[in-house]
Amino acid sequence: MSSKQGFVAVEALSRRAALRRIALGVTAAGLGAGIDRADAAQVHAEIANERTFQGEYEVKFFNGHEFATLERLSELIVPADEGGPSGREGGAPEFIDLLSSQNPELAAIFTGGMLWLDAASRVRTGKRFVDSPEEQQTQILDALVEAERDLEDSDVRWETDEYERFSVFGVRRPSEAQQGLKFFGWARVLIVDAYYTSPAGIRDLGFVGNAAHTEYSVPQEAIDYALGRSPFEEA
Amino acid sequence: MAETDYDVVVVGAGAGGGTMARVLGEKGVKVALLEAGPMIDPQRDFKTNDWPHDYGHRSAEDGGKAYFGRGTDYGFFTTVSGGWQLEGEPYTSAPGTRFQWFRSRVVGGRTNHYGRMSFRFSDMDLKPYSRDGVGWDWPISYEDLAPWYDRTEEYIGVTGTVEGIRSAPDGKFHTPPEPKVHERLMRAAGKSLGVPFIANRRAVITRSINGRAACHYCGQCGRGCLTESNYSASQVDVFPAIRTGNVTLITGAMVREVEASDAGLARGVIYIDKEARTEKRVRGRAVVLAASACETARLMLNSKSRHFPNGIANGSGLVGRYLMDTVGFSVQGTLPALENMPRYDSDGFGGAHLYAPWWLWDDHSKLDFPRGYHIEMGGGFRMPGPGSFLGIARQTGYGLPLKRKVREQYGTRVGLSGRGEMVPNDQSYMDIDPDVIDRWGIPVARFHFSFSDYEWKQARHMERTFKDLIEAAGGKVHGIGNRSREGEGIAVPGSIIHEVGTARMGESASNSVLNQYCQAHEVRNLFVADGATFVSNPDKNPTLTINALSWRTAEYLAEELRKGNV
């Protein structure tokens, strides 16, 4: 199957190399041939124009159901809002598929994790995760987050057989969601990273660097904003 | 065995060897410049201006290696440089020692990726024993070195402002870029605590010199610079050296030993041609070692002969001794004043625009450690990459709260890093492991290392100071900046990559390896032009001084060659 967001890196990069040569007027990569600042600005600009996603991504590792699950998770973990689209539009499913196709350790975390997710979903709704109502999907994710916080907040070793002896301290039985935490952690970091490294995510963040300037200046508006919220009269 | 003759054989094409080859080449001296790694091609090798989304792996590398701690050291975009481990080329550590050794095998060496902080040693730095009775004095004074700093700065280009601070001598500066917003807040915090933040001194040019374009502020010095707007030994020394027509670069040449003549002089070097896996020799009237401090010492210790049973020029037994790194410790936090701040391009010239030189140089009597440190700073709107928002994700769970928190918190993080002077000690040195050879058949280096209370107490002073600074700016301290490196309370020895001191200069042959011109006391045609020559390791990052000393040595060597003394 394929999805709409294809990231054709290799082609883009070979075009990049060609572009650079044109912009630099370099016929062959000469020994230490430098370029001047105007050329650098031109390269930055041309690369920015040329940087568009092309083609269809062909799923390399996951089956159709697994990929659909990744798409749904990508919408839930990084949802679309007024500041930008979802992790799905940020290319997260493709990113996870590509890495998993190259890394059996990662692949196993995701295949096992998604089977666990479907099992956890069936307990609640009798249906697989993607087929369940959104409310049930978020309940599972909420349970994962709660289990994660319990683990972080607690000094008690959950694994002990004697945990109930400590119940006087209000210790709860470990959540079953705890078993899904490794998978959840991986899914979240990869979806978040895919989104914020995508062009849409860069725009959402407002990252305006990776550019060439003749002069470097810091806008007074930013200085005033920070200074007004700081303990200082001047900075 | 193939043989070739040159005036001078230079081992290592980094800061020291690159400077040496260029200066000698410009004077018409015929130089063989040996480099253990390959040539570098900026057009091919530098990832300047690329984005994570130019790659399917988003800069996490194939299979997401970066997430598993198996990615390229310093990240995917960093220019080719080297690593903490090199396949088939181990080093060992004595029991109880934890030491990290970053080695580059490429033209330009570690200057391709380094931080480019360029601080002059001060008069106090060169005579530390005279001031506090610890360590040793250098055989040269600030007045001896200053003209060579001038030349070096004028040639490579260093930013800065004239400040008149004794611990941070002024130089020949390019105009620095203005401070970023978080830096202004930290400067104000410093002012309230008596810590002076001044314009950073980095080897970046802000006006065009020598055909190199002025910086265009993309902030990516570590990737390598296509416009040659920063200093790297490859682009600024080695390429011009080759253009003189007098310098022959031999890549893939792993030097094993300095060959001694019957008269006890250096005849040249024996190296392994890595591609052919064959031993070759190259001969010259003089040999200059600039392979990096510990490679140079390893090479000297492995150069045994009738005259030099303990390694060439090692009658003092001091080759490998008094190894020093920089004391490192960092603290990170966030500044709420920066939340939801209007966005701007905070890339700048590739590093902090401000730093704090050591400010308590006249107050050591009130401190429990003898030497100082400077403060480096991080922060701003960084290009997102693998793991950029891990902390926020854990804090917020998932969904819209996560997205909103990322927008609010983006760019609020600041880090302060201390870079301090370590006092040389008897427990910190390197020798040759009696049991291990590398893939080229060369016996490997073995490290012994121990920080003393001087360094530990200095690191605690850093910790308190950085916490105070962040809190003075209304910030919240999160903790240690680099947990894997500094989790024990001080950076792992070697991990700051400022290792120096293994063949130190001095006035007497019994108490040092080299004279004030970095010429071996015992072998008049053998010189050293890297950090091995250092007598102390001031809190100033070493490269600028390696450049300046190498230039000084090159002029001296050229004159000795002309006079027929070498």
Beta-sheet pairing, B278-289 with B526-528? parallel
The pLDDT assigned to B482 comes to 87
What average pLDDT does the segment A157-165 reach? 51
Chain A CA closest to residue B228: A34
Long-range contacts of B476-481 (CB under 8 A, 24+ apart): B476/B333, B476/B334, B476/B336, B477/B331, B477/B332, B477/B333, B478/B332, B478/B333, B478/B334, B479/B331, B479/B332, B480/B329, B480/B330, B480/B331, B480/B332, B481/B330, B481/B331, B481/B332, B481/B415, B481/B416, B481/B417
Task: Give the position of tokens 């080229």.
Answer: B440
Encode B240-255: b = buried (16+ Cβ within 10 Å), e = exposed.
bbbebebbbbbbbbbb
Q: Å from A191 to nearest chain B CA?
A: 10
Q: Per residue in A194-232, pLDDT tens?
A: 999 999 999 999 999 999 999 999 999 999 999 999 999
Nearest CA distance, A166 vs chain B (angstrom): 27
Taking an 8 Å cut-off on Cβ atoms, the answer to whether B56 and A192 are in contact is: no
Chain A nearest CA to B365, separation (Å): 32
For residue A8, what pLDDT is reported? 33
Residue in B389, B383, B387, B385 with CA at minimum distance from that of residue B409? B389
pLDDT band at A46 (very low <50, low <70, confident <90, very high): low
Name chain B contacts of A98, Cβ cutoff 8 Å. Answer: 56-57
> Which residues of chain B make contact with A72, given a CB cutoff of 8 A?
none
> Cβ separation of A199 and B53 shorter than 8 Å?
yes
Q: What ipTM score was computed for the predicted complex, to two decimals?
A: 0.94
Cβ-contact B188, B204 below 8 angstroms: no
Considering only CB atoms, A77 lies closest to which of B181, B349, B398, namely: B398
pLDDT in the model for residue A28: 34
CA distance B234 to B15: 8
* For residue A163, pLDDT beyond 80: no
Hey, are the CB atoms on B53 and A91 less than 8 Å from each other?
A: yes
Helix crossing, B453-472 with B181-193: angle to 10°?
Answer: 110
Which is more confident, A35 or A28?
A: A35
> Nearest chain A Cα to B353, which residue?
A216
Pick the residue from chain A with its C-alpha nearest to B191: A235
CA B64 to chain centre: 29
CA distance A168 to chain B (A): 28
Does residue A23 carry a pLDDT above 50? no
Spell out which residues of chain B touch residue A205, defining contact as CB-CB under 8 Å: 343, 381, 384, 406-407, 410
Q: SS3 of A168, please? A: helix
Residue in A with minimal Cα distance to B183: A235
User: What is the mean predicted confidence (pLDDT) over A68-72?
Assistant: 98
Q: Which helix (H) or strand (E) holds A137?
A: helix A134-153
Contact check, Cβ <8 Å, A83/B343? no
- What DSSP element (H or E) covers B479? strand B476-480
Tens-digit pLDDT profile for chain B (566 aa)? 455 689 999 999 999 999 999 999 999 999 999 999 999 999 889 998 899 999 999 999 999 999 999 999 889 998 877 899 999 999 999 999 999 999 999 999 999 999 999 999 999 999 999 999 999 999 999 999 999 999 999 999 999 999 999 999 999 999 999 999 999 999 999 999 999 999 999 999 999 999 999 999 999 999 999 999 999 999 999 999 999 999 999 999 999 999 999 999 999 999 999 999 999 999 999 999 999 999 999 999 999 999 999 999 999 999 999 999 999 999 999 999 999 999 999 999 988 999 999 999 999 999 999 999 999 999 999 999 999 999 999 999 999 999 999 999 999 999 999 999 999 999 999 999 999 999 999 999 999 999 999 999 999 999 999 999 999 999 999 999 888 899 889 999 999 999 999 999 999 999 999 999 999 999 999 999 999 999 999 999 999 999 999 999 999 999 999 999 99
Measure B106 CA to nearest chain A CA, in Å: 14
Do B406 and A205 count as a contact with CB atoms less than 8 A apart? yes
Residues in chain B closer than 8 A to A107 (CB atoms) = none
pLDDT of residue A175: 77
Nearest to B473 by CA among B379, B348, B353: B379
Q: Place A161 in a pLDDT band, splitting at 50, 70 and 90.
A: low
* pLDDT tens-digit readout, A88-127: 999 999 999 999 999 999 999 999 999 999 999 999 999 9
Q: B532 is written with which tokens? A: 């091995």
Contact criterion met (CB < 8 Å) for A193 and B388:
yes
The pairing of strands B443-448 and B429-437 is: antiparallel
Q: What rounded mean pLDDT belongs to chain A?
A: 80
φ, ψ for residue B345, nearest 5 deg: -80, 105
The reply to whether A235 touches chain B by the CB within 8 Å rule is yes
**Nearest to B446, CA basis, from B435, B457, B455:** B435
Write the CB contacts of A63 (distance below 8 Å, at least 6 apart in sequence).
none
Contact across the interface for B51 and A197, Cβ inside 8 Å: yes
The DSSP symbol for B384 reads P
Instruction: Judge: A231–B474 Cβ closer than 8 Å, yes or no.
Output: yes
Q: Which amino acid is at B539?
A: D
Read off the DSSP letter of residue B175.
P
Give backbone dihedrals phi and psi of B194, rounded to 5 degrees, phi first.
80, 20
Q: Check A40 against B227: CB less than 8 A apart.
A: yes
pLDDT higher than 70, residue A12: no
Task: For residues B216 and B61, give the distance between their C-alpha atoms in angstroms, rounded to a whole number.
Answer: 27
A18 contact B CB<8A: no
Determine whether the interchain pair B219/A209 forms a contact, defined as Cβ–Cβ distance below 8 Å: yes
Strand partners, B34: B11, B250
Cβ within 8 Å, pair B393-A35: no
What is the residue type of B11? V
Question: CA-based Rg of chain B, rounded to a whole angstrom?
Answer: 23
How many angstroms separate the CA atoms of B168 and B509, rounded?
31
When CB atoms are compared, the residue of B337, B383, B407 closest to A229 is B337
Q: What is the DSSP string of B77-97?
A: TSPS--BSS-TT---EE-TT-
Q: Across the interface, do B349 and A216 touch by the CB < 8 Å criterion?
A: yes
DSSP of B101-127 = --B--STTGGGGT---B--PPPHHHH-
pLDDT of residue A51: 41
d(CA A159, CA A163): 8
- What pLDDT shows up at residue A177? 85
The alpha carbon of residue B476 is apart from the nearest alpha carbon of chain A, in Å, by: 13
Q: What is the dihedral of CA B539, B216, B205, B223, to 10 degrees?
A: 50
Mutate to test the interface with B, among A95, A140, A193 (most CBs of B within 10 A): A193
| Separation of alpha carbons B393 and A182, rounded Å | 14
Q: How far apart are CA A43 and CA A16, in angstroms?
A: 9
Nearest chain B CA: its distance from A143 CA (Å): 10
Strand locations in chain A, DSSP E?
2-3, 57-58
* Calpha distance B310→B307 (Å, rounded): 9
Return the SS3 of B267: strand
> What stretch of H or E contains A108?
helix A104-125
Please name the residue that has the structure tokens 């030497």. B371
Q: How far apart are CA B10 and CA B431, in angstroms?
A: 23
Q: Pick from B174, B216, B347, B406 the residue to mutate for testing the A interface (most A CBs within 10 Å).
A: B216
Is the pLDDT at A53 greater than 60, yes or no?
Answer: no
Whether the per-residue pLDDT at A11 is higher than 70: the answer is no
Instruction: Answer whether A234 touches B (CB < 8 Å).
Output: yes
Q: Does A214 touch chain B (CB under 8 A)?
A: yes
Q: For B199-226, give the secondary structure using H, E and C.
A: ECCECECCCCECCECCCCCCCCHHHCCC
Q: Do A216 and B56 touch (CB under 8 A)?
A: no
- Tell me how many residue pairs between chain A and chain B have CB atoms under 8 A apart: 260
Which positions in chain B touch A231 (Cβ < 8 Å)? 472-474
Q: Mind spelling out the 3-state secondary structure of B549-561? A: HHHHHHHHHHHHH
